[in-house]
Amino acid sequence: MHVSVALLLELGLILVALTLLGTLARRFGLSPIPLYLIAGLALGEGGLSVPAAADFISSGASIGVVLLLLTLGLEFSIAEFAASLRRHLPSAWVDLLLNATPGAIAGWLLGLNAIGVLAMAGITYISSSGVVSRLLSDLRRLGNRETPSVLSVLVLEDFAMAAYLPLLTVLAAGGTWLQAAFGMAIAMTALAAAFTVSYRWGHHVGRMVSHPDSELLLLRILGLTLIVAALAEWVHASAAVGAFLVGLTLTGETAKRARDLLSPLRDLFAAVFFLAIGLSVDASHLLPMLPIAVVLAVVTGATKVLTGMYAARREGVGRQGQLRAGTVLIVRGEFSLVIIGLVGEAIEVVESVATAYVFVLAIAGPLLTKLAGGRVVASPRFPARRESGPYSA
C-alpha cells in the first residue's frame, strides 16, 4: 500500500499547530475554537496550501460534527428531552421571527431576488449545532440548568432546516414550488419517523449495540450513527440531528462507556471540523463586505441572545443563566456555509456578505460565551458532568 509522504507531513504539521493553539487557549481559560478557525483561514485560498490534506480535512469535518452531536446526545435521555422540546415550541417561533427577519431584510436592502432573500434569512436564523455542542463541553456547562433550553432550540432549528434546505435546494436549481413542497414533505416525514422510533423503541437499540468488548461496542455505535446520519442527510434532514437521536437512545452503562470510548475521537475530529470551517472561507471574500457583515452580526447576535434568554426563562432559569443561554447560541457555522454553497455561485452578493458574517460570529460567539460565564448550576434533571477531553477550558 502506497503511503503519501505529503499527506502524512501536512497532517502532522497541522496537528502540531492545533496542539500549540489549543495549549495557548487553555492557558487563558478560553475555548480554542476561534484559534482553530483562524488557522483554517490561514490554510485556505490565498494562504498556505495543504493540497494533500484537503480531502482528509473535508471528510474529517463531516465525521467531526456527527461525533459532536452523538456525544452530546449521550448526555441526555430521549423522554426528558422530548418533554423539553414540547415546552420550547414557543421558543422556536420566537427564534424564527427574531433571527430570520434581519437576514431577509438585509437581502431585500441588498436588492436580492426572492431566492437570495430566502437564503439570507436562513443564514442568519440557524445557529451552529457543532460549535455550540463543543462550547458547552469546553466550558463544562452540560449540566447547567439552561442547557436543556439551548439544546431544544438547536434541535428545533435543525428540524426547521429539514424543511428549509429541500425548499432552497429545489428553488435554487430552478425547480417549482410544488417540487419544493414535495421535497419538504419527504424530509419532515422521515425526521418525524426517526424521532418516533427513537422515542418509543430506542431502548431496544441500546440493547442491540451493547457489548462487553470495547472495540466491538465502539464499532457498533459508530457504524449505526454514520448510517443514521447518512440517511438523515439523504432526505435533506440534518446528519447532526440523526447522530443526536442515536445518542439519545443510548442510556445507562452503555452510554457511559460510549462517552469514554468516543471522547478522544470526538476531540480529534472536532478540531478538524473547526479547521475545515476556516479552510472553506476565501479570505479575499471577507474584506469587501465586512462592514455590512459586522452590522448584521451585531443585530443578529443581539436577537440570538434574546432568543436564548426567552427559552431559558421558560425553564425557570435566573438572569445569569439566561445570558449564558443567549450568548452560546450566537455562533453560526456549518448550516450557514451549506446555504452559501447552494446559492453562492449564482448570487455572489450572498457569498460575499454571508461568508464574512459567518466568520465574524464563529469567532466572536465563543469569546462572548466565555465572557458571559458565571458559576455552573446543575439541573436536577441533568446533573453536571466534568469533561476530561483535552479541549476542556
Domain ranges of the chain: 14-22+31-371
Burial code (b: 16+ CB inside 10 Å, e: under 16) for 115-126 equals bbbbbbbbbbbb
Q: Which residues contact 48 (CB under 8 A, 6 or more apart)?
A: 42
Please count the CA atoms within 13 angstroms of the CA of 189 that sit on its side-chain side: 6
pLDDT of residue 382: 43
pLDDT of residue 1: 62
CATH no. for 14-22+31-371:
1.20.1530.20
pLDDT tens per residue across all 393 residues of the chain: 666 888 899 999 999 999 999 899 888 777 788 888 888 888 876 667 788 888 889 899 889 888 988 887 887 777 777 777 788 889 999 999 999 999 999 999 999 999 999 999 999 999 988 888 888 888 888 888 899 899 889 888 878 887 888 888 888 888 888 888 887 888 778 777 777 777 777 777 778 888 889 999 999 999 999 998 898 888 766 787 788 888 888 877 888 899 899 989 988 998 898 888 878 777 776 778 889 999 999 999 999 999 999 999 998 999 999 999 999 999 988 778 888 877 866 677 888 888 889 889 988 988 899 888 754 444 444 444 433 333 333
pLDDT of residue 312: 94
pLDDT of residue 45: 67
Taking the CA atoms of the chain, what radius of gyration do you get in angstroms?
Answer: 20
Backbone CA torsion sign across 329, 70, 340, 165: negative
Q: What is the pTM of this model?
A: 0.78
pLDDT of residue 207: 80
